[in-house]
Structure 1
Amino acid sequence: MMKIQPASTHQKGKVVKNLTLSALALSISAPALAIECETPSGVPQHHLLAANSDTVHWGYFSKEVEPQIAVQSGDFVTIETLTHHANDDASRMIEGDAGAESVFKWEKGDKGVNRRGAGPVDASILGRGAGEGFGVHVLTGPIYVCGAEPGDILEVKILDMTPRPSQNPEYAGKTFGSNAAAWWGFHYNDLIEEPKPREVITIYEMDATGATNWAQAVYKYNWVPQTDPDGVLHETIDYPGVPVDHSTIEKDMNVLEGVRIPVRPHFGTMGVAPAEADFVDTVPPGYFGGNIDNWRIGKGGTMYYPIAVEGALLSAGDPHAAQGDSELAGTAIETSYTGVVQVILHKKDELADTVMEGLDFPLLETDSEYVVHGFSYANYLEELGESAQSDIYSQSSIDKAMRDAFRKMRTFLMTTKGLSEDEAISLMSVAADFGVTQVVDGNWGVHGVIEKGIFPAK
């Protein structure tokens, strides 16, 4: 049995206060791991899922991972999530934070979380470390949803997101994030200044108290080869959580002076377990959700995921403070957040005449919009066969993602709004906005946005 460790007093107080203001009369509990599903009480429960070395899985979605908690439809979960970029500046993002320290612990022969990625544990392919970094995101969970079966839809309402404060007394009241302009970025082979190529880390600071809602750059540095505690040299950012030795870097403190970046907190990666493979790289998104990297998947948003395995196995992570459409350079402002979500199960025989009818892709609903998510491959795990998890990185294109987004929006409008194909196509051309979600996640993304208010009320 695994105990769920509580969040910090600050985080728990903040969440409870927000829930009270929202008139959510719920009881907070932090139970021991319970895979068994108890008889529903009829009253939604509120679960706490902290982030620590026992409650996260790093770099993969998996139908084989033991659930951390079991919830009933309608339950609420406060879920802590950590950025995998915290070691870009450990003094600001890890030091003094017991949960983060347990996850990022790395001494010779001893890592807090050993496997990082969907690759082999013995690192027999490239020798970079367990999991090989074939997948990079720290995910908290999974959450087992009682009664969930393949063909059902999981609704996840994002009720709140609060920053995880730095626990280093030197940075009290602040929180920090990292942006990596990295080798997987769209820009990398199109640089004009020397040195070329280069990877650049920019550290951003934000107010953790909520007094301000913008981020500002603190400093930047060029990545230089780093040797991890096990003696492996990392010429590039090729394995998650490698501690950066700040004695080896040169900091430029004059960066983006006077520029304020609006904070738009969201989960970069959230989804359910796919059925096609036991361990699936977190980088390419798919029908199961995952690393969609859409900044709209934040507070006030509702995600719908098609369920592929028993219990759904929902996990979340890769929290972002801010990101632009395309995530051009490779990452957002990668930071750590605590979210409050409500999980609602919709059985497959109850989907008719709802926005979930025929849904086989991750759908976002906000107060005013529906957002469909298209990818270069709607289900790359199935379409590309046995080598899908490696081939996807050379097979993606915006053209393919746009085609998929168009098809999904067409189906959505015809199925849920009763339009003919001609009506759907005309409406898309005059009223839908299509944008590039990301071009850095292997399976590139295009999202289509349609305003809810244009349709007549039923």
Structure 2
Amino acid sequence: MCLGDDPTCAAFAEHRLRYRRDMEPERRAFLKSGFVATGGAAALAAGGLSLVSPALAQNSARRLKQTAHYHLPANAETIHWGYFSKSLKPQVEIDSGDFVTIETLTHHANDDAERMVTGDPGAESVFLWTKEKKGVARRGAGPEDSKLGPGGGLGVHICTGPVAIRGAEPGDVLEVRILDVAPRPSANPKFKGLTFGSNAAAWWGYHYNDMLEGRKREVVTIYEVDASGDRDWAKAVYSFPWPGVTDPDGRDHPTIDYPGLPVDHTKTKRTYDVLKGIRVPIRPHFGTMGLAPAEADMVNSIPPSYTGGNIDNWRIGKGATMYYPVAVPGALFSVGDPHASQGDSELCGTAIECSLTGTFQFILHKKADLAGTSLEALDFPMIETSEDWVLSGFSYPNYLKDLGPDAQNAIFQKSSIDLAMRDAFRKMRQFLMHAKGLTEDEAISLMSVAVDFGITQVVDGNWGVHAIVKKAIFSERTA
């Protein structure tokens, strides 16, 4: 269905006009909400609820122009599959303070193309793969001549973007506010009003080498979500063992080793009534979201790093704010790997991988304004919610730098929870001392009695541990 993003549609002009009319009230609501870069940030900061101090908010606000609202659809022309790159041409260039509504597609949509691809022009253009044509050839940061296909599957996430922020330079901090997250409805009339996602218990999952009776297998479970968002839970529809796939280029894939493989369901054995009577609470979020790193030209989308990427923390959803250190001019923000829900650890290798659309506001904080603020020493992605600050620890904080020339291969052999925990501890200590004025001894005591450390994920190469501290702890602190 054309949403004003398909120029080949016979009614493109009408649909585009309708989209812009629909967005205008939404945009006005954002501008009236008080949660924009001027009064909104300052109001939060005044109550000690934000990392952005009133002074920093005012300095950043002085650079704002009249805000604009952009729409970035997901199609074969607007996505990059499986990698971040500082050399990518921006899909849109914006000013600080602007809003962008960004469509994202799950790279697992072809697990059930009937439900997640059919009838959707954007998804069909991305997942197109016949003997004659491949909608998106490069899938991953690997070589063009990989035996699995261009990119080699060294990176799997469909990322929409990048979005360039005018004036962003290395040393700045980009604040990204997630104002809304909505499911992408199935475009197949058979499934009107529904959205679907896939959960693959795959070979890269933590469980895979520890299965009962040693019987290794990959099993895909398809979940159903209410497209309107009114129903706050998902239910399993059916599951099937991975049947093995021969792709349109004639390559065999006995395991899920290349993104976007088209599953032939005439060869699958479906089990219905799986997880019968169980409601899975949905918490829509973006598993992969961040900026382009500086250390390499093409970077695998799987391991997260200091500029964000595949953090896979379910808290990166509606109402949350992300802070990223800018590493390259323009920042180059991309987002993908949308999830309907995920538990901490993402144990089997995936979440409910489900296409979503997000609306974001981008606020640029210049390096010159950061001295003496909570963001001055920020060199890692940080999550802020209405109640919490969440710090992301990784086995290697900047694996591209830490592990040398072979970093993108070495990271998959060297990660550990112990290293990630150590990084999370060090980052929280730094945060409590620098941003909250505690001594080291005070910080250590507080971490032990009031900070929750959790396993973010153990499946992304660079494993993650997050540290959560409640804002309310500091409600009576004056300095």
- TM-score (ref. length: structure 1): 0.92
Contact 1:11/1:164 (<8 A) preserved: no
Q: Find the partner of 1:417 among 436, 439, 447.
A: 436
Match of 1:86 in 2: 109
Measured in 2, the distance between the counterparts of 1:416 and 1:319 equals 31
Letter paired with 1:408: K
User: 2:198 matched to 1:178?
Assistant: yes
Pairwise mapping of residues 147-186 of structure 1 onto structure 2 (< 5 A)?
147-186=167-206
Measured in 2, the distance between the counterparts of 1:273 and 1:23 equals 28
Deviation at 1:12, TM superposition (A): 7.0
Q: Find the partner of 1:106 among 99, 123, 129.
A: 129
Letter paired with 1:183: W
Measured in 2, the distance between the counterparts of 1:317 and 1:14 equals 24
Count of residue correspondences: 439
Letter paired with 1:364: I
Match of 2:80 in 1: 57
**TM superposition outliers: structure 1 runs of 4+ over 3 Å:** 3-25
Q: Find the partner of 1:122 among 141, 145, 157.
A: 145
Letter paired with 1:170: K
Deviation at 1:457, TM superposition (A): 5.3
> For residues 354-389 of structure 1, what are the alpha-carbon distances to aligned partners after superposition, in whole Å with 9 as ceiling and x for unaligned?
331200000000111100000000010001101100
Contact 2:64/2:95 (<8 A) preserved: no
Pairwise mapping of residues 27-426 of structure 1 onto structure 2 (< 5 A)?
42-123=65-146, 127-192=147-212, 196-426=215-445
Give ranges in structure 2 of 5+ residues lacking alignment: 34-62
Letter paired with 2:204: W
Deviation at 1:14, TM superposition (A): 6.9
> For residues 165-214 of structure 1, what are the alpha-carbon distances to aligned partners after superposition, in whole Å with 9 as ceiling and x for unaligned?
000000000000000000000000111157x1100000000110122111
Overall identity of the aligned pairs, in %: 62
> For residues 135-155 of structure 1, what are the alpha-carbon distances to aligned partners after superposition, in whole Å with 9 as ceiling and x for unaligned?
000000001110000011010
Give ranges in structure 1 of 5+ residues lacking alignment: 26-39
Deviation at 1:453, TM superposition (A): 1.2
SS in 2 for 1:392: helix
Contact 2:64/2:97 (<8 A) preserved: no
Relative to structure 1, is the Cα distance of residues 417 and 65 closer, same or farther in structure 2, using a 3 angstrom cutoff?
A: same
Deviation at 1:295, TM superposition (A): 0.1
Measured in 2, the distance between the counterparts of 1:270 and 1:79 equals 12
Deviation at 1:20, TM superposition (A): 4.6
Letter paired with 1:255: V
Letter paired with 2:111: D
Letter paired with 2:193: G
Q: In angstroms, what is the RMSD of aligned CA positions?
A: 2.0
Deviation at 1:24, TM superposition (A): 4.7
347-356 or 433-442, which moves further after superposition? Answer: 347-356
Contact 1:326/1:439 (<8 A) preserved: yes
Deviation at 1:42, TM superposition (A): 1.9
Q: Which structure: greater helix fraction? A: 2
> For residues 258-310 of structure 1, what are the alpha-carbon distances to aligned partners after superposition, in whole Å with 9 as ceiling and x for unaligned?
10001100010000000000100000000010000000000000000001100
- TM-score (ref. length: structure 2): 0.88
Relative to structure 1, is the Cα distance of residues 272 and 5 closer, same or farther in structure 2, using a 3 angstrom cutoff?
A: farther
Deviation at 1:353, TM superposition (A): 3.4
SS in 1 for 2:413: helix
